[in-house]
Amino acid sequence: MTSTFTTSLRNHYENYFGIEGIPRLLKKGPTEKLHPDFYVLEFRPNARHHYWTYCTVGMSVGRIDDNLIELFVFSPQQDEAIVELVTVCASYHRNGLPLNIHHTINIGRPWLPNSKCDHGFISLPYMDGEDLELFEFNGQMFHCFWLIPITERERDYKMENGCEALEQLFEDKQLDYLNPLRECLVT
């Protein structure tokens, strides 16, 4: 069943982006704690998006709760660090506390070199909508959510004011989600 799940999810992503993704596996770290069929699918810039996209495949394989999610991250460049980032998130989801919409995570280092963004916020895929977000498999609905790199102060702002306030801040200040060198939006 799991290989059927990962094949179906890969097809979902590839149909959405309109190109073939490249499977990527982390060669170090918590890989033994992941499902054996887990990998990250890397998409080069394409007609849908002019930047790199990294998607988890199999992050929620075997879950029997309501935390049936997969994650994707956008990047201005091809980078193995993004493969590591979503792999660590998948490991935490599988072995720590489950992740879901509007959760924040501590990445523990900048998401890309010299970035002030060392946390992540799990959001709806506003730019892509339900065509990317919703993936049905064997009668269960899985959600492909957007992991947005954020700063610690932005995370604190969300904790103090709620996720809607953080998303409104992103909209009001026109979050430059692809810029690893962007400044914190909380003033």
Burial 67-83 (b: 16+ CB within 10 A, else e): bbbbbbbbbeeebeebb
CB 54 within 8 A of CB 111: no
Phi/psi at 140 (nearest 5 deg)? Answer: -110, 145
Over residues 78-97, the pLDDT tens digits come to 999 999 999 999 998 988 78
Task: Give Cα separations from 102 to 21, 49, 162, 179 (angstroms).
Answer: 27, 23, 9, 21
What pLDDT was estimated at residue 29?
67
Query: pLDDT tens digit string along 10-49?
Result: 999 999 999 999 999 987 766 778 888 999 999 999 999 9
Please state, in angstroms and rounded to a whole number, the distance separating the CA atoms of residues 69 and 147: 11
Question: Residue 132 — very low, low, confident or very high, per pLDDT cuts 50/70/90?
Answer: very high
Asked if residue 3 has pLDDT above 90, the reply is no
Instruction: Give the pLDDT of residue 2.
Output: 59
What's the CA gap between 169 and 161, in Å, rounded?
A: 11
Do residues 105 and 120 touch, judged by C-beta distance below 8 A?
yes
Helix or strand (DSSP H, E) at 155? helix 152-161
121 membership: H or E segment, kind and range:
strand 119-123
Q: What is the pLDDT of residue 177?
A: 95
Q: Among 44-58, 88-102, 112-126, whose mean pLDDT is lowest? A: 88-102
Asked if pLDDT for residue 1 goes beyond 60, the answer is: no
Q: Say if CB 111 and CB 86 are below 8 A apart.
A: no
Largest CA-CA distance found in the chain, in angstroms, rounded: 49
* pTM of the complete model beyond 0.85: yes
Domains in the chain: boundaries:
2-172
Mean pLDDT, the chain, whole residue set: 94
